[in-house]
Amino acid sequence: MQRSRLAEAYARLTRRGKDVLAWVAEGKANAEIGQILATRTRTVAKHLEHIFTKLGVESRTAAARIAFEVMRTRGSPSRRPPKQAKRKRNR
C-alpha cells in the first residue's frame, strides 16, 4: 500500500479505533487494551474487526505495521490516556 493510501486508510479510523490500534502496535493483548480503555475485551475485538476492514488487512501484525508507518511519517498516532474517574473531594 502506498504511503498516501496508508494515511487515507488511517484517517478513516475513529478516534477510539486509533487508540486501540496504537495499543496493538505497542504489543498489548485485547484484555490489556480493554483494561486500559475501561471497556470489555469483546468491544476491543469488535473495534479491531472494524479497523481491519477499514485498513484492508487481515491481522494484528498488518494493522500494527500501518500504525508504525503512520507514526514514522506523522509522528505518534492519536492515543490519549484513559479518562480517570473524578473523585469527590472530602472537605
Query: Where along the chain do its domains lie?
Result: 3-74
Question: Which pLDDT score is estimated for 75?
Answer: 62
Q: What is the pLDDT of residues 27-54, one digit of tens each?
A: 999 999 999 999 999 999 999 999 999 9
DSSP 31-75: HHHHHHTTS-HHHHHHHHHHHHHHHT-SSHHHHHHHHHHHHHHHS
Percent of the chain with pLDDT over 70: 77
Task: Please tell me which residue, 61 or 1, carries the higher pLDDT value.
Answer: 61
Question: Which pLDDT score is estimated for 84?
Answer: 47
Residue 86 above 80 pLDDT? no
Instruction: Give the domain 3-74 fold.
Output: Arc Repressor Mutant, subunit A (1.10.10)
Task: Please tell me which residue, 43 or 77, carries the higher pLDDT value.
Answer: 43
Give the distance, in angstroms, between the CA of residue 66 and the centroid of all CA atoms in the same chain: 11
